[in-house]
Amino acid sequence: MRIRLCLAALSLVGGAGLATLTTPTASAATCADLDVVAARGTLEPGTLGLIVGDPVFSALQQKITGKTLSSYAVNYPADLSLTSAATGNADLVNHVNAQAAACPNQRFILVGYSQGANVVDNSMGISSDGAVVGSPIVATIPAAVEPKVAAVLLFGNPIRALGKSVTGTYQSRTIDFCATGDPICQNGGTDVLAHLGYTSDAGAAATFAAGKV
């Protein structure tokens, strides 16, 4: 029921005004200094994600000066199927590995919203299995590539409703937003619309990332 409510609210709010946001075009610029890898939320429209990915990328472009940025939208269904998050997990790791091989000096900013946060969690080796639209881990960023991840930006992260969070190697590079009452990331949360308000955190997320690059 919570998932259906959130998806219904996403559709309504998107139609009511979020669609007016300017969405940047994802690009695969050759060996940019920073590659922003974004996994959108369940059924979220937009190039990188209308609610989080697109506004965060725009904010990063403003906050990070003197460096070139490219972007990549994780290629996965972002639906309610049992294999959706696992598909995103595999694609994110494959992309990062390929970029690391082709562009040895490139660093990464990982962005995940809702189900997309599950994708990022899994890719860092933190299982989202048992979380809303989660999955078991199918791939992880190799230890040799891990230092290239400059920052991790998570929003409405479903594992938090399980009492889990990002710990270990990536903890100091991660900021994890969970709005008060968001039922996807807060156990017992009842404010469905709170899950759709993370656009307002784009600037804070970009400021955090800028301090890590």
| Per-residue pLDDT of the chain in tens (213 residues, 90 and over written 9) | 444 434 434 433 333 333 333 334 334 447 999 999 999 999 999 999 999 999 999 999 999 999 999 999 999 999 999 999 999 999 999 999 999 999 999 999 999 999 999 999 999 999 999 999 999 999 999 999 999 999 999 999 999 999 999 999 999 999 999 999 999 999 999 999 999 999 999 999 999 999 999
Residues 6+ apart with CB under 8 A from 116: 38, 39, 40, 41, 44, 49, 52, 53, 74, 78, 88
The two tokens of residue 18 are 């979020």
Q: How far apart are CA 39 and CA 22, in angstroms?
A: 18
Please return the burial class of 102, using the count of CB atoms within 10 Å of its CB with bins 0-12, 13-18 and 19+: exposed
Helix, strand, or coil here: 173?
A: helix
pLDDT at 24: 40
pLDDT at 23: 36
pLDDT at 3: 43
pTM: 0.88
pLDDT at 14: 37
Q: Which residues, listed in sequence order, are joined to residue 174 by a DSSP beta bridge?
A: 152
For residue 97, the 8-state DSSP code is H
pLDDT at 162: 97
Name the residues annotated as catalytic: 114, 182, 195
